[in-house]
């Protein structure tokens, strides 16, 4: 029996998402970092989560994944271990996204400048599109 590896998080993108082709087959990979704020007052902290979504799904949502955009992501965590050229061991965790939901405008647009956020794309009856 397999163990459960499921994680859901909301947050804001730290920079625009990037899509690139990987490997000999040119598989598309869209990656971004998500800032997740927890706590309050002196206990407030921000955790940064690296996120990747594979294939055309990631490439199609990439134009909407701009710095400051609020999203909800569900997926599974993967761990990469390596030893650098100086013999130092490193570990990196990444959230491999299954679903990404756009949940609001950017902090920069709505909260800092006071201007109205750009209108969301019309996806029909869905409130928040899932990619």
Quick one: which of 90, 75, 73, 86 has its CA closest to 13?
A: 73
The pLDDT tens digits along the chain (131 residues) read 778 889 999 999 999 999 999 989 999 999 999 999 999 999 999 999 999 999 999 999 999 999 999 999 999 999 999 999 999 999 999 999 999 999 975 444 434 333 344 454 454 555 555 55
Q: State how far the alpha carbon of 106 is from the alpha carbons of 2, 50, 68, 114, in Å.
A: 38, 19, 4, 11
pLDDT recorded at residue 116? 45
Task: Determine contact, residues 19/30, Cβ cutoff 8 Å.
Answer: yes
Residue 29, classed as helix, strand or coil, is strand
Q: Domains along the chain?
A: 7-35+46-112 (2.40.50.140)
d(CA 93, CA 22): 19
């Amino acid at each position: 029996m397999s163990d459960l590896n499921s994680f859901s998080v909301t947050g804001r993108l730290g920079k625009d998402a990037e899509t690139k082709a990987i490997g000999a087959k040119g598989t598309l990979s869209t990656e971004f970092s998500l800032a997740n704020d927890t706590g309050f007052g002196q206990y407030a902290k921000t955790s940064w989560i690296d996120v990747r979504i594979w294939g055309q799904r990631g490439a199609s949502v990439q134009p909407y994944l701009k710095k400051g955009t609020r999203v909800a992501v569900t997926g599974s965590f993967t761990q990469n271990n390596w030893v650098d050229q100086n013999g130092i061991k490193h570990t990196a965790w990444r959230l491999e996204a299954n679903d990404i939901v756009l949940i609001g405008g950017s902090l920069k647009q709505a909260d800092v400048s006071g201007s109205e956020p750009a209108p969301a794309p019309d996806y029909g009856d869905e409130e928040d599109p899932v990619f």
